[in-house]
């Protein structure tokens, strides 16, 4: 009887674990894609309204350099999340560190919205996701225990 309870307990953890792996997989794909866009196009591109061949101020060049640098970090985070997916039940510290990266990024984005304005309504979704990312660590804790 005791063995049956242990098996049932493990079965009850498989579905939440798979759902978390799907969520992390989606996040990693989004991170890798946006990192690619940031590295490939930088800040001074068609998306932000700049024409090809246009001369840029030193401030814009600095912004472009920073966007590409942070996109490289974003690429690294995406790769670490991909690496972590099959190890989700063993890599609790890694997820916690990444969760805090997201949380602090969300704080930075929130400060930008409050001081400079909202670029588009989609950014509110980003802020909510980034600020709530640490909740995944609580969910992971339930899956592991």
User: What average pLDDT does this structure show over 70-96?
Assistant: 93
pLDDT of 48 reads 72
What pLDDT does residue 45 have? Answer: 76
- The pLDDT of residue 112: 94
Q: What is the pLDDT of residues 133-145, one digit of tens each?
A: 888 888 888 777 6
pLDDT tens per residue, range 3-54: 555 555 666 778 888 999 999 999 999 999 999 999 998 887 777 777 777 7
Q: What confidence score (pLDDT) does residue 32 get?
A: 97
Handedness of CA 114, 72, 35, 91 (dihedral sign): negative
* Residue 143 and residue 13 in contact, taking contact as beta carbons nearer than 8 Å: yes
pLDDT at residue 107 is higher than 70: yes
Residue appearing with tokens 């969910």: 139
**Per-domain boundaries in the chain:** 1-84, 89-145
C-alpha neighbours within 13 Å on the C-beta side of residue 1: 0
Distance, CA of 10 to CA of 7 (rounded, Å): 5
């Amino acid at each position: 009887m005791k063995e049956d309870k242990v098996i049932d307990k493990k079965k009850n953890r498989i579905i939440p674990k798979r759902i978390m792996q799907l969520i992390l997989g989606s996040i990693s794909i989004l991170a890798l894609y946006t990192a690619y866009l940031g590295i490939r196009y930088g800040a001074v591109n068609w998306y932000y309204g700049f024409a090809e061949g246009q001369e840029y101020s030193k401030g814009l060049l600095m912004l472009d350099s920073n966007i590409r640098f942070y996109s490289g970090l974003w690429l690294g985070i995406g790769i670490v999340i991909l690496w972590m997916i099959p190890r989700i039940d063993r890599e609790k510290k890694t997820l916690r560190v990444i969760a805090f990266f997201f949380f602090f990024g969300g704080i930075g984005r929130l400060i930008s919205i409050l001081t400079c304005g909202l670029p588009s309504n989609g950014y509110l979704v980003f802020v909510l996701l980034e600020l709530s990312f640490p909740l995944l660590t609580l969910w992971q804790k339930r899956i592991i225990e």
